């Protein structure tokens, strides 16, 4: 513990006896405290801001005059600010808090060089702030999921590099023989994202590709941010937390490994299903459709595995905030992915494409699956890092019910509304004229569903406020775990005892 290895030494471990001792879990937790708190507090901030952006955009979608006179808050910009605040502000910050911590725990190695993570954290939040400011200001780039102006890109790439280097250090210093499946997922994700991001930046912004190759690159990137970044991280976290909380090993480790490689192989190709019917080479679309359908394999594997691990322990799971959130996410992973596979079929896509159905699907994936699992991880991680209890159980329940029911309402509203919208746009009379010849009529018919979406957004905002209050209450509370019997905490390590 005493000696502090240089960065170079860390990159190439030579076996200093003192520092290569297998760390106890409590020590790993303690070493991660500062960077995790930095990332987590930023994440909660972006989550709340992103929710407000979302609500403004949702209200604008039914009442366009709401804040209609302000250029900075016009729908197109608020919507993009919402997306970027959520993916890059909330999503990446919470990943940078949780993933290194789990990596450290699984590697049984203290987190070293936390300064790298701290610097990365500061860079990252500057980048997101600059990016979102740029979007609202009107420097938005017309590429979905890459709206941040190009002047934010260098900072983003530097941060990815810093965190990536750090994760490799943590992994190289592992004191365990076995590489657990979560580590696979995390390592792969940390490798995939910077690559994806850099290629997309080059091919779309610095040296734009020819014509519709841009669109192909765009959806290769955007779908893979979900598929090769958010998904493997959330699955890695679930593969760690479900067995960990329940004290029961994962049902079939073999299946989890099969699932990993199936995901790696198929998810890559799925993104082009966003261009079905579009002016792109037909064979690419076919490949995308095939890959989307093949995703059923890893999805069922993961679903079976998670479900069978919990079977028989439902009561215990229900009593654990972590399991409630993680299982909500895991179950929705199965649903959202199967919906996604269906949506890639040409005849289904003919209806759902260009409608709110897709918007519902995106929220289903990023929120009901990814975000809920990350909430669960935060509920597990915080007490261990701060060595104190969550201050209020009621707020956790408010958070779970509001976020959970809110997102389900949103998905149902957008997908039912979107399906109707799609049917009405395509409906033809026998003489070949559109049944709904007035486009405005179709727009009017989606309005009630968009109202429901605003309502669901309000529920989610309430949930997030409960979460935010609980987090800050916890950080600023003085109670120590030792002073009370701490159910969400483990017995303290020898060092602390």
Partner 1 sequence: MDWGQYILIGFVFACLFFLGAALALHWAHRHGQLTNLEKGAQSIFDEDEPMGEITDAFPRKRRKKKN
Partner 2 sequence: MKSLPLIFLGVFFTLAFSWTGIVLTSQIQLKEFTPATPDLVDSQDQPAPGGKYLVDGETIKNTPGMTANPQPLVGEAQRGKLVYQQMGCLYCHSQQVRRQGFGADFERGWGQRQSVPRDYIEQDRVMLGTMRTGPDLTNVGLRYSELWQFQHLYDPQITSPGSIMPPYGFLFEVREISPLTGPSAEAIELPEAYQPPAGYEVVPSRRAKDLVAYLMSLHQDYELPEIKFTQ
User: Could you say which residues in the range 73-132 bind partner 2, by CB under 8 A?
Assistant: 74-77, 79-80
Task: Provide, rounded to whole angstroms, the least separation between the CB of residue 129 and partner 1.
Answer: 34
For partner 1, give the closer residue by CB, 250 or 368: 250
Residues 344-383: x where in contact with partner 2 by CB under 8 A, - otherwise, as a string? --x---x--xxxx-xx------------------------
For partner 2, give the closer residue by CB, 7 or 257: 257
Distance, CA of 23 to CA of 1 (rounded, Å)? 10
For partner 1, give the closer residue by CB, 41 or 250: 250
Residue 434: phi and psi, rounded to 5, are -65, 140
Task: Provide, rounded to whole angstroms, the least separation between the CB of residue 467 and partner 1.
Answer: 14
Judged by CB under 8 A, the stretch of 2-10, 60-68, 454-462, 481-489 that binds partner 1 is 481-489
In this structure, which long-range contacts are made by residues 56-64, counting pairs with CB atoms below 8 Å and at least 24 apart in sequence?
57/82, 58/450, 58/453, 58/454, 58/457, 59/454, 61/450, 61/453, 61/454, 62/447, 62/450, 62/451, 62/454
Q: Which does 336 bind (CB under 5 to 8 A by kind): partner 2, partner 1, none?
A: none
For partner 2, give the closer residue by CB, 60 or 464: 60
- Between residue 268 and residue 307, which ones bind partner 2 under the rule CB under 8 A? 268-269, 271-272, 274-275, 277-281, 284, 287-288
- Between residue 281 and residue 340, which ones bind partner 1 under the rule CB under 8 A? 316, 319-323
> Counting contacts by CB under 8 A, is residue 184 touching partner 2?
yes
- According to DSSP H, which parts of 85-152 are helical? 92-107, 114-137
SS3 category, 146: coil
* CA distance readout (Å), 277 to 1, 418, 438: 60, 18, 23
DSSP one-letter string for 250-300: -S-HHHHHHHHHHHHHHHHHHGGGGGTTSSS-HHHHHHHHHHHHHTHHHHH
> Counting contacts by CB under 8 A, is residue 447 touching partner 2?
yes
Q: Which does 15 bind (CB under 5 to 8 A by kind): partner 1, partner 2, none?
A: none
Among 21, 37, 130, 213, binds partner 2 (CB under 8 A): 213
Q: Which does 203 bind (CB under 5 to 8 A by kind): partner 1, partner 2, none?
A: partner 2
> Counting contacts by CB under 8 A, is residue 199 touching partner 1?
no
Residues 396-435: x where in contact with partner 1 by CB under 8 A, - otherwise, as a string? xx--------------------------------------
Tokens representing residue 37 in the block:
């708190």
- Cβ(126)–Cβ(155) below 8 Å: yes
Q: Which does 482 bind (CB under 5 to 8 A by kind): partner 1, partner 2, none?
A: none
Task: Provide, rounded to whole angstroms, the least separation between the CB of residue 24 and partner 1.
Answer: 6
Nearest to 246 by CA among 331, 313, 321, 304: 313
> Counting contacts by CB under 8 A, is residue 428 touching partner 2?
yes
Angle, vertex CA 359, rays to CA 354 and CA 360, nearest 5: 125
DSSP 202: I
b or e along 23-51 (b: 16 or more beta carbons within 10 Å of the residue's beta carbon)? beebbbbbbbbbbbbbbbbbbbbbbbbbb
- Between residue 219 and residue 248, which ones bind partner 1 under the rule CB under 8 A? 240, 243-248
* Number of residues lying near partner 2 (CB under 8 A): 88
Task: Provide, rounded to whole angstroms, the least separation between the CB of residue 161 and partner 2.
Answer: 16
For partner 2, give the closer residue by CB, 58 or 246: 58
Distance, CA of 53 to CA of 147 (rounded, Å)? 15
Task: Provide, rounded to whole angstroms, the least separation between the CB of residue 203 and partner 1.
Answer: 24
Distance, CA of 487 to CA of 383 (rounded, Å)? 10
> Counting contacts by CB under 8 A, is residue 64 touching partner 2?
yes
- Between residue 94 and residue 113, which ones bind partner 1 under the rule CB under 8 A? 106
Task: Provide, rounded to whole angstroms, the least separation between the CB of residue 389 and partner 2.
Answer: 36
Judged by CB under 8 A, the stretch of 57-65, 173-181, 287-295, 355-363 that binds partner 1 is 173-181
Half-sphere exposure of 496 (CA within 13 A, CB side): 20
SS3 category, 428: strand
Tokens 């792969």 sit on residue: 188
Task: Provide, rounded to whole angstroms, the least separation between the CB of residue 385 and partner 1.
Answer: 14
Distance, CA of 266 to CA of 340 (rounded, Å)? 13
Task: Provide, rounded to whole angstroms, the least separation between the CB of residue 198 and partner 2.
Answer: 12
Task: Provide, rounded to whole angstroms, the least separation between the CB of residue 484 and partner 1.
Answer: 7
Among 129, 252, 268, 445, binds partner 1 (CB under 8 A): 252
Distance, CA of 167 to CA of 147 (rounded, Å)? 27
Q: Which does 391 bind (CB under 5 to 8 A by kind): partner 2, partner 1, none?
A: partner 1
Distance, CA of 381 to CA of 471 (rounded, Å)? 12
Distance, CA of 225 to CA of 189 (rounded, Å)? 9
Judged by CB under 8 A, the stretch of 25-33, 106-114, 202-210, 371-379 that binds partner 2 is 202-210
* Neighbouring C-beta atoms of residue 362, cutoff 10 Å: 17
Tell me how far the alpha carbon of residue 231 is from its chain's centroid: 7
Distance, CA of 469 to CA of 32 (rounded, Å)? 22
Task: Provide, rounded to whole angstroms, the least separation between the CB of residue 197 and partner 1.
Answer: 28
Chain contacts with partner 1 (rule: CB under 8 A): 24-26, 106, 176, 178, 180-181, 240, 243-250, 252-254, 257, 316, 319-323, 379-380, 389-393, 396-397, 484-488, 490-491, 493
């Amino acid at each position: 513990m005493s000696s502090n290895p240089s960065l170079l030494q860390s990159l190439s471990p030579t076996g200093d006896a003192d520092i290569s001792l297998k760390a106890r879990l409590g020590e790993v937790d303690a070493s991660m405290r500062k960077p995790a708190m930095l990332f987590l507090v930023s994440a909660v901030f972006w989550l709340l801001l992103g929710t407000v952006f979302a609500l403004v955009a949702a209200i604008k979608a039914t009442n366009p005059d709401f804040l209609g006179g302000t250029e900075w808050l016009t729908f197109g910009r608020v919507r993009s600010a919402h997306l970027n605040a959520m993916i890059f502000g909330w999503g990446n910050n919470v990943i940078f808090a949780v993933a290194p911590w789990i990596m450290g725990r699984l590697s049984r190695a203290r987190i070293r060089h936390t300064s790298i993570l701290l610097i990365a954290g500061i860079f990252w939040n500057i980048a997101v702030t600059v990016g979102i400011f740029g979007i609202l200001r009107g420097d938005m780039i017309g590429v979905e999921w890459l709206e941040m102006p190009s002047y934010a890109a260098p900072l983003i790439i530097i941060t990815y590099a810093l965190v990536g280097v750090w994760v490799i250090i943590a992994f190289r210093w592992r004191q365990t023989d076995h590489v657990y499946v979560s580590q696979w997922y995390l390592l792969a994700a940390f490798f995939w994202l910077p690559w994806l991001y850099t290629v997309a930046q080059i091919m779309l912004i610095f040296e734009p590709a020819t014509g519709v190759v841009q669109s192909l690159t765009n959806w290769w990137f955007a779908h893979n941010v979900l598929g090769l970044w958010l998904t493997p991280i959330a699955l890695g976290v679930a593969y760690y937390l479900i067995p960990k909380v329940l004290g029961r090993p994962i049902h079939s480790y073999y299946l989890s490994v099969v699932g990993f490689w199936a995901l790696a192989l198929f998810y890559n190709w799925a993104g082009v299903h966003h261009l079905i019917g579009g002016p792109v080479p037909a064979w690419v679309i076919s490949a995308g459709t095939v890959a989307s359908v093949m995703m059923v394999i890893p999805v069922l594997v993961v679903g079976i595995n998670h479900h069978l691990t919990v079977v028989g322990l439902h009561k215990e799971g229900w009593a654990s905030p972590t399991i409630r959130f993680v299982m909500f996410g895991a179950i929705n992973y199965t649903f959202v992915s199967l919906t996604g596979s269906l949506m890639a079929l040409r005849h289904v896509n003919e209806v759902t494409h260009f409608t709110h159905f897709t918007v519902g699907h995106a929220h289903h994936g990023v929120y009901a699956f990814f975000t809920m699992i990350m909430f669960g991880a935060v509920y597990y991680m915080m007490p261990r890092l701060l060595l104190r209890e969550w201050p209020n159980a009621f707020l956790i329940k408010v958070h779970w019910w509001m976020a959970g029911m809110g997102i389900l309402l949103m998905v149902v509203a957008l997908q039912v509304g979107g399906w109707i919208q799609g049917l009405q746009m395509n409906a033809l009379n026998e003489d070949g004229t559109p049944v709904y010849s007035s486009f405005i009529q179709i727009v009017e018919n989606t309005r009630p569903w968009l109202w429901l979406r605003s309502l669901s957004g309000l529920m989610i905002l309430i949930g997030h406020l409960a979460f935010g209050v609980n987090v800050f209450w916890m950080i600023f509370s003085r109670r120590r775990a030792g002073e009370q019997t701490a159910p969400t905490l483990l017995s303290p390590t020898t060092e602390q005892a």
